[in-house]
């Protein structure tokens, strides 16, 4: 496995690989890798000749009061995990390599990115679409794998790829959870044991919604009320949103859900740790 930090070196390598007819798969990450990330690598390895994992804590997707500086950066452990998972190249640039002085171009998806995360983190998706567009131009992958854990991100990236004619296939990987249901996330590292136990109510609320749907419930207001009620019983957990949206457009579903097409998305603070999770209903 080789680690590359320069844009020009990565572009030259991709060019060579493409000339050789190799199929390049990209797994973009912000590092602090966990089994969820590695499940994306596994999916990529089934269809790629060459797997590139990018590790880049992208400053433009963090708001001014968010956790950019304290975001975990265990690079050595991440490189070891990539090597063990059979990754061929890690692209791990410094921020100044991606955003040199005077950088001024951004990619903005203006519809799907508006609600949910977009409403509570106004410039978040502008940062995500910009860095992913740049990664696609730098790594030139044939396909790229994203997790359903970040459902809105996947929907926004899909739209960006379609609207801007990127020749990159987007593959969606299911959410990996801990045995007790907590969705794996790099931010789980911030949780104390007590907070972690409280955080479980998020996945429990989602599970309750899927059970209600399996039992025949279709009404959006009832599903949201029950999930909100469950979370409300936990003192440390504060709901940012509990929404039921179309899984592709992120538009709020009114009245009744369409099984398989609707998604319950939850964002909540567990004390000062912001977590998101979702389930397709
Ligand atoms: P991040 O490092 O948080 O930017 O995540 C990098 C990629 O891993 C994104 O496509 C995420 O959706 C995906 N991912 C994060 N957590 C999980 C998980 N628990 N299961 C599956 N994919 C995940």
CB 88 within 8 A of CB 49: no
Q: H-helix or E-strand containing 19?
A: helix 7-19
Q: What pLDDT sits at residue 155?
A: 98
Q: pTM of the prediction?
A: 0.98
Q: What pLDDT sits at residue 273?
A: 97
Judge residue 65's burial from the number of C-beta atoms within 10 Å of its C-beta, 0-12 exposed, 13-18 middle, 19 or more buried: exposed
Q: Which atom of ligand 1 is nearest to the CA of 30?
A: 2
pLDDT bucket at 260, cuts 50 / 70 / 90: very high
Q: Which of 135, 158, 160 is nearest to 29 (CA)?
A: 135
pLDDT bucket at 210, cuts 50 / 70 / 90: very high
Q: Which of 266, 230, 253, 33 is nearest to 149 (CA)?
A: 266
Verify whether residue 234 is a known catalytic residue: no
pLDDT bucket at 123, cuts 50 / 70 / 90: very high
Start-to-end CA span in the chain (Å)? 40
Q: Which residues are within 8 A (CB) of 224 and not within 5 positions of it... i.e. 6 or more apart?
A: 242, 243, 244, 264
The 10s digit of each residue's pLDDT in 10-55 is 999 999 999 999 999 999 999 999 999 999 999 999 999 999 999 9
CB 203 within 8 A of CB 179: no
Rounded Cα–Cα distance for residues 222 and 234 (Å): 20
Q: Which atom of ligand 1 is nearest to the CA of 175?
A: 20
What average pLDDT score do residues 79-104 get?
Answer: 98
The 10s digit of each residue's pLDDT in 216-228 is 999 999 999 999 9
Q: What pLDDT sits at residue 201?
A: 98
Q: What pLDDT sits at residue 45?
A: 97
Ligand 1 centroid distance, CA of 151 (Å): 10
Query: Which of 90, 149, 273 has most ligand 1 atoms within 8 Å of CB, for mutation?
Result: 149
Structural domains of the chain, with CATH? 2-173 (3.40.50.620), 186-275 (3.30.1300.10)
- From the CB of residue 238, how many other CB atoms can be counted at a distance below 10 Å? 14
- From the CB of residue 240, how many other CB atoms can be counted at a distance below 10 Å? 17
The 10s digit of each residue's pLDDT in 126-159 is 999 999 999 999 999 999 999 999 999 999 999 9
């Amino acid at each position: 496995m080789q680690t590359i930090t320069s844009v020009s070196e990565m572009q030259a390598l991709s060019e060579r690989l493409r000339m050789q007819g190799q199929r390049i798969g990209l797994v973009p990450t912000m590092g602090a890798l966990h089994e969820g990330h590695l499940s994306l690598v596994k999916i990529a390895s089934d269809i790629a000749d060459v797997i590139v994992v990018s590790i880049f804590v992208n400053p433009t997707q963090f708001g001014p009061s968010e956790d950019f500086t304290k975001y975990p950066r265990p690079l050595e452990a991440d490189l070891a995990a990539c090597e063990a998972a059979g990754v061929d190249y890690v692209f791990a640039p410094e921020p100044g390599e991606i955003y040199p002085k005077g950088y001024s171009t951004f990619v903005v998806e203006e519809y799907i990115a508006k609600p949910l995360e977009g409403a509570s983190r106004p410039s978040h998706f502008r940062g995500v679409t910009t860095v992913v567009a740049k990664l696609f131009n730098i790594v030139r992958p044939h396909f790229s794998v994203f997790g359903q854990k970040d459902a809105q991100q996947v929907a926004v990236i899909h739209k960006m790829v379609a609207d801007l004619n990127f020749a990159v296939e987007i593959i969606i990987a299911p959410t990996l959870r801990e045995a007790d249901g907590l969705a794996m996330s790099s931010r789980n590292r911030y949780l104390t044991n007590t907070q972690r136990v409280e955080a479980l109510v998020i996945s429990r609320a989602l599970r309750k919604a899927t059970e209600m749907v399996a039992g025949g419930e279709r009404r959006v207001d009832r599903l949201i009320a029950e999930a909100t009620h469950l979370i409300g019983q936990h003192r440390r957990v504060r709901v940012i949103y509990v929404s039921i949206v179309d899984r592709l457009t992120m538009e709020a579903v009114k009245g009744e859900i369409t099984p398989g097409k609707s998604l319950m998305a939850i964002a909540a603070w567990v004390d000062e740790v912001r977590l998101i999770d979702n389930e397709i209903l």
